[in-house]
C-alpha cells in the first residue's frame, strides 16, 4: 500500500495551484456553459432567464437554419479534409525525395502555415475581390475570363472559395506530418518490393500507403476537428453571406450568441458542435486505428 507521506503531500501541494487554475479556466467554463444551455438566456433581457431543460436542444433541431448550417458545414469539412489530405500526401511524396532545392522548398512550405489566420483571410479576400482582385486580373490577362467576376458574391462557389483559403493554410502542417511518417518507413521495404518487381505505383499502394496510416489518422482527425469548427475565415471573408451561402455551424453559433445575444441556444449549439467533433474524431480513430 502506498503511504501518503511527506513527498506525496508536497507533490500534491505543488500540483494544487495548477489544478485549481485548470478547474477555474477549463472545467468550470465547460460545466457552466452546459448549465447555460439549459436556460433561456437572452442578454438583452437580463431579468428573465428561465430554466428550460433540454428545450434549447429541441428548438435548434427544429430550426431550419440549423440544418442548413449542418449541410454547409458537412460540405465544407469534406472538401477541406479530403483536398488537404490528398495534397499533403502528394507534397510529402515530393519532398521525401532528394533533389536540389528540396530543403528550401520544405522551408517555404511552412510559410502559409505560419501566416496568421486573419492575414490569410484578408489576403484571400483581396485575391477574390471583384474590382481589384489578383484572381480576376490573372484570369483576364491569360484570356480565361472576359470580364472581372464577383467571386465571393456567387453563392454557388463561396463555400469552395473559403475552403480553398483554408486548405492553403492547413495543407503545410498536414504535409509535414506525412513527411515525418514517411521518413519512418524502412528503406528495406522498398528494396524488397523492387526485388519482387513492384513498380512505382505498386510500391506506393502496397508499401507507402499502409505505412502512412498513423500519419493519415492524425491528419484526418486534426483536419476534421479544425475544419468543422472553422470561424475566422467566415468572419473575415463573407460574414455568412452572400445571403446564407456560407452560414456554417460555427457562424450560426456566433450569430446566435454574439449578435442575437441568445446565450442559451448558442451554448446548446456549441455543445452539439463539440459532441459531433468528438464523435467524428472517435470514429476516425476507431476505423483507422484498427488497421494500424
Binding part of the chain for other proteins, among 13-21, 75-83, 190-198, 217-225 by CB under 8 A, reads: 13-21
CB of 258 to other proteins, least distance (A): 5
Binding part of the chain for other proteins, among 12-20, 69-77, 78-86, 182-190 by CB under 8 A, reads: 12-20
Residue 275 in contact with other proteins, rule: CB under 8 A: no
Mapped onto helix, strand or coil, the DSSP state of residue 51 is strand
CB 137 within 8 A of CB 151: no
Residue 238 in contact with other proteins, rule: CB under 8 A: yes
| Nearest-angstrom CA–CA distance, 176 and 92 | 7
Q: Which single residue is written with the C-alpha cell 507534397?
A: 91
Residue 46 in contact with other proteins, rule: CB under 8 A: yes
Residue 155 in contact with other proteins, rule: CB under 8 A: yes
Kindly tell me the burial class for residue 237, based on how many C-beta atoms sit within 10 Å of its own C-beta (0-12, 13-18, 19 or more): buried
CB of 44 to other proteins, least distance (A): 4
| Nearest-angstrom CA–CA distance, 65 and 222 | 27
CB of 155 to other proteins, least distance (A): 6
Q: Name the residue among 79, 44, 46, 62 with its Cα closest to residue 269.
A: 62
Q: Which one of residues 261, 275, 279, 283 is an interface residue with other proteins (CB under 8 A)?
A: 261
Binding part of the chain for other proteins, among 93-101, 193-201, 202-210, 253-261 by CB under 8 A, reads: 253-261
Q: Which one of residues 53, 186, 243, 289 is an interface residue with other proteins (CB under 8 A)?
A: 243
Q: Which one of residues 70, 74, 244, 281 is an interface residue with other proteins (CB under 8 A)?
A: 244
Kindly tell me the burial class for residue 128, based on how many C-beta atoms sit within 10 Å of its own C-beta (0-12, 13-18, 19 or more): buried
| Nearest-angstrom CA–CA distance, 135 and 149 | 9
Residue 138 in contact with other proteins, rule: CB under 8 A: no
Residue 44 in contact with other proteins, rule: CB under 8 A: yes
Mapped onto helix, strand or coil, the DSSP state of residue 42 is strand
CB 142 within 8 A of CB 213: no
Residues numbered 61-120 forming contacts with other proteins, rule: CB under 8 A? none
Residues 6+ apart with CB under 8 A from 67: none
Residue 134 in contact with other proteins, rule: CB under 8 A: no
Residue 47 in contact with other proteins, rule: CB under 8 A: yes
Residue 191 in contact with other proteins, rule: CB under 8 A: no
Residue ranges that bind other proteins, judged by CB under 8 A: 10, 13-14, 16-17, 43-47, 130-131, 150, 152-155, 238-245, 255, 258-262
Amino acid at each position: 500500500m502506498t503511504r501518503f507521506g511527506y513527498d506525496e503531500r508536497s507533490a500534491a501541494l505543488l500540483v494544487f495551484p495548477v489544478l485549481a487554475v485548470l478547474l477555474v479556466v477549463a472545467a468550470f467554463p465547460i460545466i457552466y456553459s452546459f448549465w447555460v444551455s439549459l436556460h433561456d438566456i437572452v442578454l438583452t433581457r437580463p431579468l428573465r432567464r428561465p430554466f428550460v431543460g433540454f428545450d434549447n436542444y429541441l428548438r435548434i433541431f427544429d430550426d431550419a437554419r440549423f440544418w442548413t448550417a449542418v449541410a454547409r458545414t458537412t460540405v465544407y469539412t469534406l472538401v477541406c479534409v479530403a483536398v488537404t489530405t490528398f495534397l499533403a500526401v502528394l507534397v510529402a511524396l515530393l519532398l521525401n525525395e532528394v533533389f536540389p532545392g528540396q530543403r528550401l522548398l520544405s522551408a517555404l512550405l511552412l510559410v502559409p502555415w505560419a501566416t496568421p489566420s486573419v492575414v490569410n483571410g484578408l489576403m484571400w479576400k483581396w485575391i477574390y475581390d471583384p474590382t481589384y482582385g489578383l484572381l480576376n486580373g490573372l484570369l483576364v490577362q491569360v484570356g480565361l475570363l472576359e470580364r472581372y467576376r464577383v467571386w465571393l458574391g456567387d453563392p454557388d462557389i463561396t463555400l469552395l472559395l473559403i475552403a480553398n483559403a483554408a486548405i492553403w493554410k492547413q495543407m503545410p502542417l498536414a504535409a509535414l506530418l506525412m513527411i515525418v511518417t514517411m521518413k519512418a518507413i524502412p528503406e528495406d521495404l522498398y528494396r524488397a518490393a523492387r526485388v519482387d518487381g513492384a513498380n512505382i505505383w505498386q510500391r506506393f499502394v502496397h508499401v507507402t500507403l499502409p505505412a502512412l496510416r498513423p500519419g493519415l489518422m492524425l491528419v484526418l482527425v486534426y483536419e476534421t476537428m479544425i475544419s468543422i469548427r472553422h470561424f475566422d475565415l467566415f468572419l473575415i471573408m463573407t460574414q455568412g453571406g452572400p445571403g446564407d451561402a456560407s452560414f456554417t455551424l460555427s457562424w450560426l453559433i456566433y450569430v446566435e450568441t454574439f449578435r442575437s445575444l441568445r446565450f442559451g441556444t448558442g451554448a446548446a449549439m456549441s455543445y452539439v458542435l463539440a459532441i459531433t467533433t468528438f464523435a467524428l474524431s472517435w470514429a476516425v480513430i476507431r476505423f483507422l486505428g484498427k488497421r494500424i
